[in-house]
Structure 1
Amino acid sequence: MKFSANLGFLWADRPLPDAIRAAKAAGFDAVECHWPYNVPVAATKAALEETGLPMLGLNTSRGDTTIGENGLAALPGREPEARAAIDEALAYAAGISAAAVHVMAGNSSGPRAQRTFCDNLAYACEAAGDAVTILIEPLNHYNAPGYFLDTVEMAANIIREVGKPNLRLMFDFYHVQIMGGDITRRFESLLPLIGHVQIASVPDRGEPDHGELDYAYVLSRIRELGWDRPVGAEYIPHTVADPDMSWLTKYMR
């Protein structure tokens, strides 16, 4: 099993290029991040080339975080800003050869929000072309109250409605467990739509070696089902400066 370090949480006390180097030293096969936009593309690209690690994905801007915004793409009337954020993410992704962009929906609800989200996703897919996969990720209602997209089934319906071949589901086992459980059966049923996988312990979102989910079983099962791409480690380490990677050694074996 291969693993990707999510640098939004791991080594978050370091500049992004140094976090990429730390992920390489820890034994990860790839990296991914949240919002890299305050780091010049050239610096991120140089660290990726130095380490040989691919960047699997990054997120679109959340908007104005001082008022609690958590994405723009499902906010009616904010289409120009949402599409500017998509353009920004795609440009950064192109500069570092990132594989995917996660388009963040934001806090909204109702039919107008869904129509807006679908229209903006169609725009993102057209702009990305064959170069980049567009991802959407349901977030649980404890960590992201009011977020438009909260279940994998809702995400699957939106993917089918938009109907673009480069639109895929980010299946985060942490969020999916909180929002209904039954995770391996749900993973299997949605596998044709899944573009990326992430893990963390439940309920504390820490290292994926304790809590409600038995990741030894989960990872074995998704491998049996044919998942052979890196699994994203998007968890909050108990020790920020020097996170414990014993779980990684265990699961890589």
Structure 2
Amino acid sequence: MTRLSANLGFLWADLPLPEAIRAAKAAGFDAVECHWPYETPAAETAAALAETGLVMLGLNTRRGQPGENGLAALPGREVEARAAIDEALAYARAIGCGAVHVMAGFAAGPEARAVFLGNLAYACQAARADGITILIEPLNHYDAPGYFLQGSDQAAALIAEAGHDNLRLMFDCYHLQIMEGDVSRRLARHLPLIGHIQIASVPDRGTPDHGELDYRHIVGVLSGLGWSRPLGAEYKPTRLTGETLGWMAALRAG
């Protein structure tokens, strides 16, 4: 049966993080993930996870200043980028979270690439002792124009060049369907590099039961590839989250 993770950056976003964790448990999710949990003391988040038995799969480094979308590929911002990595890793350790998404930011060119690789090396080394995976995620150029990472092949090339065994690709089907399509074959090609998979409808980023991608098919593809980890539901509810969960039963059934 397909396992599912609730992305609490979008689902139950109106609730404090500990209450959102409890709501995800009550709704039948198998795990949770989030964007930026830093306004909630780690002890409170850890307590809610322990109470529910859920695991926090991942969280993001901070975006930076207003209007920014990450720091790790920005030349001249290495001190801030590494402080954000340190903060994210400390929070992850405190709550038993297995992955940190290092956000690249708006940048382009060889200098940005070199800076990103340097910051990823720093993150991977700092995360290794605790068994934490570092994730990088391509974003589409409609939602995040100018973001450094825009494709799965670009991310795969960076992972290969970086050469760190705890650096993985966050494969967001929503973003990559928009940018590249051919999602089934891309999942198969990049599976050894994938650390997490996220789902939402395309192009409206709604519940994963309509639009350009048939996630029942994607679930079948992933099952055939041997993927057994939770899929992250990172969609934007159009009404109260609890009223949008009708898709879960059909997707679980495959």
Shared fold per TM-score greater than 0.5: yes
Instruction: Tell me how far 1:9 sits from its aligned partner.
Output: 0.1
CA contact (8 A) 2:136 2:168 kept: yes
- Structure 1 residue 220 displacement after superposition: 1.0
Distance 1:92 1:18 in 2: 18
- 8 A Cα contact 2:27 2:242, kept in partner: no
Question: How many corresponding residue pairs?
Answer: 251
1:98-177 residue pairs with structure 2 within 5 A?
98-130=97-129, 131-177=131-177
**Matched residue, 1:51:** 52
Q: Secondary structure at 1:134's aligned position in 2?
A: strand
Task: For 2:107 and 2:244, locate their aligned partners in 1 and report how far apart those are by CA, in whole Å.
Answer: 37
**SS at the partner of 1:221?**
helix
State the 1:242 CA deviation.
Answer: 3.2
Larger mean Cα displacement after TM superposition, 124-133 or 109-118? 124-133
Between the aligned partners of 1:232 and 1:175, the Cα distance in structure 2 is 13
Deviation at 1:109, TM superposition (A): 0.3
For the residue of structure 1 that corresponds to 2:243, the secondary structure is coil
User: Unmatched 5+ residue regions in structure 1?
Assistant: none
Partner Cα distance (2:168, 2:247) in 1: 28
Equivalence map 1:168-207=2 (5 Å): 168-207=168-207
Aligned partner of residue 242 in structure 1, secondary structure: helix
Give deviations 1:46-94, integer Å, cap 9, x for gaps. 00000000000000000012xx100000000000000000000000000
CA–CA separation in structure 2 for the residues paired with 1:172 and 1:244: 20
Contact 1:58–1:101 (Cα < 8 Å) also in 2:
yes
Per-residue deviation at 1:240?
A: 3.1
Cα RMSD of the aligned pairs, angstroms, is: 0.7
Q: Distance in 1 between matches of 2:11 and 2:249?
A: 16
1:95 and 1:240 map into 2 onto residues whose CA distance is 30
On the 8 A contact 1:13/1:241 being kept in 2, the answer is: no
2:240 is aligned to: 240
Counterpart of 2:153, as a letter, is E
Measure, in 1, the Cα distance between the counterparts of 2:205 and 2:241: 17
Per-residue deviation at 1:244? 1.6
Name the TM-score, length of structure 1 as normaliser.
0.98
For 1:166 and 1:22, locate their aligned partners in 2 and report how far apart those are by CA, in whole Å. 31
Q: Distance in 1 between matches of 2:128 and 2:98?
A: 12
Q: Deviations over 1:10-50 (max 9, x none)?
A: 00000000000000000000000000000000100000000
Which string of whole-angstrom CA distances, capped at 9 and with x for unpartnered residues, describes residues 82-118 of structure 1?
0000000000000000010000000000000000000
Q: Which amino acid aligns with 1:91?
A: A
Partner secondary structure for residue 196 of structure 1 = strand
* Structure 2: runs of 5 or more not aligned: none
- Structure-to-structure mapping, 1:33-72, within 5 angstroms: 33-65=34-66, 68-72=67-71
**In the alignment, is the contact (CA less than 8 A) between 1:13 and 1:240 conserved in 2?**
no
TM-score scaled by structure 2?
0.98
Q: Paired residue for 1:96?
A: 95
Distance 1:190 1:113 in 2: 24
Instruction: Show the counterpart of 1:19.
Output: 20
SS in 1 for 2:59: strand
8 Å contact 2:140–2:178 — kept in the other structure? yes
